Amino acid sequence: MLFPTITFAIFFMVVLVVNWLLIQQRTQWKLFMLAASYYFYGYFEWRFCLLIAVSTLFNQLCARLIHRSDDDRLRRGILALAVAGNLGLLGYFKYYGFFVSSATNLLDRIGIGISPEIVAITLPIGISFFTFQALSYVIDIYRRTFEPVSLLDFAVYESFFPHVVAGPIVRAAEFLPQLKERHDPRRVDASKAFFLIFIGLFKKVVIANFVATEIVDAVFGSPNQHSSLEVLVAIYAYAVQIYADFSGYTDMAIGLALLLGYRFPQNFDGPYTAVSLQDFWRRWHMTLSRWLRDYLYVPLGGNRGTSRATYRNLMLTMVLGGLWHGAAWTFVAWGAIHGAFLSLEHWRRQRREAKGLPEPDDTVWRRIGQRVITFHIVCFAWVFFRAESFENARDILGRLVWHWGEASPLVTTSVLVAVAFGIAMQYVPKDLLVRAMATFSRIPPVWQGVALGFALLVTNTLGPRGVAPFIYFQF
């Protein structure tokens, strides 16, 4: 059930009404929201409801046992079991075929030929997201950040439908306390919610779908049939597509949750305005960045050890972050590129500090240069993220170099405008958006409805026929 569909609109209208009818009857509300979330998740494939139910029961049991035990050794053992269980579940469904085929290819290269039968396993939508949320819950209880909640509360948290299939990764400490709050429909910022939902729809339906169908899919599908200019624009267009697609989803998820009375953390903050790779990861998929920092990078040692250990920790975090996105070596390469440049930035900072050199002046031209360089490093990495294989990435990069001057029919004015708009929208000042939302909230409700109806009509007219699944559904 995709967000930008009539089916979801009907589903959400029913859920929204019942949500506020039952909001003061906490147990009934939780049972209803759990049922609605399982229905939403099961709409994709009902059998995977059993998977999320098993994950819920397993992690709640581990959390309870950890909390009740005063023996540090036993607590560490249960935590290890919980981590192994979650990663084992994720590994089986997401990485089984990848590991088997990789091992087979490696053995074949050293002269040991085997032909194992690889079982086709359907990847459950959103498994990476709800697994990471469950892990954060168990780990935070091990760290004594907070105490376990009831099984019903945890089940609602793990399956809550606005974020269950593609994030943002909402931590237990961010969501569970809201279950205890008194929710009042009169205090819901509905204007902001509808504003976010429309912005998300526009990003997904108009921008992301348009550049995908007009240039990205064609060029990455058959790079050898396209000119260097088409390849270059397609790379830029994919950077815009994945931003508009994923940030559009999270805008809608945040808006939908807000209508239900719940607040989600921000997940994007103008990532293509970043002046460094470190700054990029403070702005891109922010909930994942913080998760990797707090539950992987810092436990590995962070930057507390030697420079070599810091580089190791950065590379491990980013390579594993790349593998989290997909079971392919191209995702590992994508993570390694980011890890390498993050390490380079750390090395440059350390070298400057060792020499006692001051920070360069923060001039406009310096910021422009930093943003251009950072954006192109990110785009270079996106080639491997989007490519189906290393051969596909090699063809893309090869065509980028050697085929200038050829006809470029896919580079149309509308494509260039869409790409430019997708990048420029990230430079809109935050206070301007805040003022726009405030102005919209002061409009009488009737005219708000008229404005939203007109906006939806324009979005439907400008967008291609049909709505493709969100890119991050596969992760």
Burial class (CB in 10 A: 0-12, 13-18, 19+), 207: buried
Shortest CA distance to 59 belongs to which of 126, 5, 140, 121?
140
pLDDT over 90, % of the chain: 59
The two three-digit tokens of residue 150, written as one number: 């009831």
What is the phi/psi pair of residue 463, to 5°?
Answer: -75, 150
Query: How many C-beta atoms lie closer than 10 Å to residue 344's C-beta?
Result: 14
Which value, to the nearest 10 degrees, does the dihedral of the CA atoms of residues 36, 41, 45, 49 take? -80
DSSP category for residue 470: P
pLDDT of 435 reads 82
CB 228 within 8 A of CB 399: yes
- Annotated catalytic residue, options 163, 325, 346, 403: 325
Mean pLDDT throughout 109-137?
A: 76
Which value, to the nearest 10 degrees, does the dihedral of the CA atoms of residues 35, 38, 39, 41 take? 160
Shortest CA distance to 326 belongs to which of 385, 280, 267, 379?
385
H-state helical runs in 69-150 = 72-109, 127-142
67 is catalytic: no
Which value, to the nearest 10 degrees, does the dihedral of the CA atoms of residues 308, 135, 327, 254 take? -110
Digit-coded pLDDT (tens) for 428-443 = 888 887 787 778 777 8
pLDDT of 182 reads 84
Amino acid at 162: P
Q: Is the pLDDT of residue 118 over 60?
A: no
Higher pLDDT residue, 278 or 447? Answer: 278
The pLDDT-based confidence of 4 (bands split at 50, 70, 90) is confident
Mean pLDDT throughout 145-158?
A: 94
Q: What's this model's pTM, rounded to 2 decimal places? A: 0.90
Digit-coded pLDDT (tens) for 102-114 = 666 666 667 666 6
Q: How far is CA 345 from the centre of its chain?
A: 24
